[in-house]
Chain A
Amino acid sequence: MHKNPNYKWLILVIIIIIMLAVPSFFWMKKDNKSRAELSKSLLSPVIMVPGSSATTERFNQLIDELNKTTLNRHSVIKIRVSREAKLTYSGSIGKNDLEPFIIIGFDNNKDGYSNIKKQAKWLNVAFESLIQNYKFNNFKAFGHSNGGLIWTYWLEHYYSEYSNDIKIKKLMTLGTPYNFTENNINNRTQMLADFIKKRSALPTNLKVYSLSGGKNYESDGIVPESSVAAGKFIFQKQVKNYTAITVTGEKADHSDLPQNKQVIQAIRQYLLKKPEKPLKPAKRKGNH
């Protein structure tokens, strides 16, 4: 019987398959392991972005206030993003802390739409690094002033890369000028028009809270109330629910908002995980 020359082709294909299968096997094991870790993770950070001209130190007072009343202190990580998208970490997550605060600040923290686009890109660099360093499958977002704009831009342009594995549960924006400093809602800025145009990219299971300050009847001193209220054109009827809250009284002007008692109360109530309730004996239902 002749030797069949086709056997060498069959063997060649088997060799190619095996040569690919071996690295695939290890890649798959690693990938599936990290997926499992991700899905088991209980970590649910609050990621905060300050507004224009503010740094990662912007929320120190806010966090101190929040930590005063909680049993487990929330630990804090700060990430500075340089203009070249280099990251500088400081702080660490406490051992038993499942709800750390992560603050992302930018060296270029200037105002303006073009800067917000850049900052959203830097936010994405930081976010990508975060999910590699800390396994979490859900998080909450918080943005003061332009920080809220950066989050909105990020959600519309970058979030879809992660949405399969990582869920954003809530977004809280504080004095965020969705229509910049424009008083008249009929004059939509380019940014607002863009946000509205791409709103279908926003996740439908997200809860959004938009807080505004009322120093007088029109504004918080800097941002007009109507500009904050313009957020409804972006979120309403797209996300799961959209809640607008106006705080007045003491410390209701734009830059004092993060230290405002009502704001801190709202963060505790809406953004953070509720402290676990003491176990009550289950009520017995049934036949008398």
Chain B
Amino acid sequence: MTKFTINFIGRLQEFSFFRATRRTMAMLMPIAVVGSYFKLLGDLIFTPNGLIYNIFNLDKVLSDHIWYGGSFVCRGMVEITFGVFGVYASYFMARYTARLYHKDSTMAGLTAVLIMLFCSYASSSGRNARMPFTASLLQINAVFIALIVGYCVGQIFHLLGKDFSYVEYEGTKVIQKRAGDAVLPSAVSLLLGVFLGILIYELQLKLLNSASFNEIVSRVQTTNNFGEVLLLTTVITFLDWLGIGYPLRSLTGMVNNAFTAENLTYTLKHGNSWNVPYKYLGSSLINSYGIMGGASVVLAVIVLLLIRRDNRENEINAKINLLSAAFGSSLGFAVGLPLILNPVFILPSILIPLINMTIAVAVISLHIIPVCVYQNLKGTPGLLVSFFGTNGSWATLFFTLLLFLLDIFLLLPVIKINEKIELRIKNQEME
């Protein structure tokens, strides 16, 4: 069985799309790590509902100058890393795809960037006069689109481009020849890109900005039907694995609607949350037990990698992302390993949240732990989200820690398979 799985996934990994994705992600890991640490810093200190900002009363301690300065730096750094991640991703994706076929990869990368920017311009044109580009298409939360664009451009270069080999000394003449050689594939790609842009503009296609997923998100926020919650969670975690993180991201922030308010009002009146009107509210379950603020899958994988120390690169990766992932800023690692678009992790990324939520619902309905109703401050460590969400119920904390141990246990075979597959890839690439 294990052997079959390894063979199957190994085959899958050999597809040019996954090969190029792996390389792209490896290249972008540093950018994602910088982004996730600045996001963490911003969440903890430089937002009015940040954890450290509130508990240490920084409102009084920090001067306005410092606070606004820090907030500016954090927002800016997140904007230039996560905000325009699609630009980088499309560039490297086109580059590594073209390189698989020994084509001129730099020109392919540039073409992909042009197309991404044009599509982003098309989707924002005429709507928001203040911002020239809606970042939505370029966001890390929509990285799947950028990868697809990059891959398509790479394939066009594969079909139409001339073979290319690097030369040591690149004089102007050589570069001019390169540009000349790239005219055909670049022009075809751009033409298709313009066509895509026109479609987006004319049909007002809101490719992957949060509005497209509003329906799913609002359903999961307002449903109290556990079957529906499971179904929607499957969709949302699958999209997240694919590199479309919008739905998940909008659930893990502050969810504030009539349902959460009713639960909170009940709790404040009665002093406990055992019998709130909506016990199985989707958003609360996903956030506290399904994703556990990034602890259920990401942190568990990091801990396993650190304990097993099988692969040096992965170990370093896990080490630098440990702190940010522990506080719920997990994108750095999702790009770095990668978890995104990595066939090994598709099943665990979907199943573990479902298992966690099912156990949590059983335990809630048995009245062993109360319902999470309180809002968390930003930057709350993932493992403590449910503890603070229940006004400090020790049973809940204990339960969450057990759940985390279970997740680690469940992920152990996955990590073992991953080790074998990585070894296989390494051997293949050596050949």
Do A17 and B306 touch across chains, with their CB atoms under 8 A apart? no
Do A36 and B392 touch across chains, with their CB atoms under 8 A apart? no
Do A28 and B391 touch across chains, with their CB atoms under 8 A apart? yes
Q: Name the A residues within 8 Å of B407 (CB-CB).
A: none
Who on chain B is nearest to A37 by CB? Answer: B268
Contact (A40, B268) CB under 8 Å given A6-B319, A28-B388, A28-B391: yes
Q: Which of B76-84, B174-182, B379-387 contacts A (4 or more CB under 8 A)?
A: B379-387
Do B392 and A10 touch across chains, with their CB atoms under 8 A apart? no
Do B55 and A20 touch across chains, with their CB atoms under 8 A apart? yes
Q: Name the A residues within 8 Å of B269 (CB-CB).
A: 39-40
Do A24 and B380 touch across chains, with their CB atoms under 8 A apart? yes
Do A17 and B374 touch across chains, with their CB atoms under 8 A apart? no
B255-287 with Cβ < 8 A to chain A: 265, 268-269, 271
Q: Name the A residues within 8 Å of B377 (CB-CB).
A: 24
Do B374 and A32 touch across chains, with their CB atoms under 8 A apart? yes
- Residue B350 CB within 8 A of the other chain: no
A151-195 with Cβ < 8 A to chain B: none
Q: Which listed residue (B309, B326, B374) contacts A28, Cβ 8 A?
A: B374
Do B384 and A21 touch across chains, with their CB atoms under 8 A apart? yes
A210 to B401, CA, bound (A): 58
Q: Name the A residues within 8 Å of B43 (CB-CB).
A: none
Do B323 and A24 touch across chains, with their CB atoms under 8 A apart? no
Contact (A17, B56) CB under 8 Å given A4-B307, A6-B307, A28-B391: no
A286 to B339, CA, bound (A): 66
Do A9 and B268 touch across chains, with their CB atoms under 8 A apart? no
Q: Which listed residue (A6, A9, A27, A32) contacts B55, Cβ 8 A?
A: A27
Who on chain A is nearest to B303 by CB? Answer: A10
A9-32 with Cβ < 8 A to chain B: 9-10, 13, 16-17, 20-21, 23-25, 27-29, 32
Please give the distance in Å from B36's CB to the nearest CB on chain A. Answer: 15
Q: Name the B residues within 8 Å of A32 (CB-CB).
A: 374, 391
Q: Name the B residues within 8 Å of A29 (CB-CB).
A: 391-392
A59 to B271, CA, bound (A): 40
Interface size class of B (residues with CB under 8 A): 20 to 34
- Residue A240 CB within 8 A of the other chain: no
B370-409 with Cβ < 8 A to chain A: 374, 377, 380-381, 383-384, 388, 391-392
A40 to B267, CA, bound (A): 11
Q: Which listed residue (B51, B54, B306) contacts A9, Cβ 8 A?
A: B306
Do A13 and B326 touch across chains, with their CB atoms under 8 A apart? yes
- Residue B147 CB within 8 A of the other chain: no
Contact (A10, B51) CB under 8 Å given A23-B56, A24-B377, A28-B392: no
- Residue A197 CB within 8 A of the other chain: no
- Residue A86 CB within 8 A of the other chain: no
Cβ contacts B192-218/A at 8 Å (1 or 0 each): 000000000000000000000000000
Please give the distance in Å from B416's CB to the nearest CB on chain A. Answer: 17
Do B392 and A9 touch across chains, with their CB atoms under 8 A apart? no
Q: Name the B residues within 8 Å of A35 (CB-CB).
A: 268
- Residue B52 CB within 8 A of the other chain: yes
Contact (A36, B268) CB under 8 Å given A6-B319, A24-B377, A25-B392: yes
Q: Which listed residue (A9, A10, A36) contacts B271, Cβ 8 A?
A: A36
Please give the distance in Å from A18's CB to the nearest CB on chain B. Answer: 10
Cβ contacts B43-57/A at 8 Å (1 or 0 each): 000000001101110
Cβ contacts A32-58/B at 8 Å (1 or 0 each): 100110111000000000000000000
Do B388 and A17 touch across chains, with their CB atoms under 8 A apart? no
Do A4 and B374 touch across chains, with their CB atoms under 8 A apart? no
- Residue B240 CB within 8 A of the other chain: no
A192 to B383, CA, bound (A): 52
Q: Which listed residue (B54, B306, B383) contacts A27, Cβ 8 A?
A: B54
- Residue B322 CB within 8 A of the other chain: yes
A21 to B326, CA, bound (A): 13
Q: Name the B residues within 8 Å of A25 (CB-CB).
A: 388, 392
Do A21 and B381 touch across chains, with their CB atoms under 8 A apart? yes
Contact (A13, B55) CB under 8 Å given A4-B309, A24-B388: no
Q: Which listed residue (A9, A24, A39, A40) contacts B322, Cβ 8 A?
A: A9
Who on chain B is nearest to A32 by CB? Answer: B391
A32 to B273, CA, bound (A): 13
Q: Name the B residues within 8 Å of A24 (CB-CB).
A: 51, 55, 377, 380, 384, 388
Do B307 and A17 touch across chains, with their CB atoms under 8 A apart? no
B322-341 with Cβ < 8 A to chain A: 322-323, 326
A24 to B307, CA, bound (A): 29
Shortest 7 CB-CB contacts between residues of A and residues of B: A6-B306, A39-B268, A27-B55, A36-B268, A23-B55, A17-B381, A13-B326
Interface residues of A (CB under 8 A from B): 4, 6, 9-10, 13, 16-17, 20-21, 23-25, 27-29, 32, 35-36, 38-40
Supplied contacts A4-B309, A10-B303, 9 more A-B pairs, CB within 8 Å: A6-B315, A10-B322, A13-B322, A13-B326, A20-B381, A29-B391, A36-B271, A39-B269, A40-B269
Interface residues of B (CB under 8 A from A): 51-52, 54-56, 265, 268-269, 271, 303, 306-307, 309, 315, 319, 322-323, 326, 374, 377, 380-381, 383-384, 388, 391-392
Pairs across A and B, CB under 8 Å, 15 listed = A4-B307, A6-B307, A6-B315, A10-B306, A20-B381, A21-B381, A24-B51, A24-B380, A24-B384, A25-B388, A28-B374, A35-B268, A38-B268, A39-B269, A40-B269
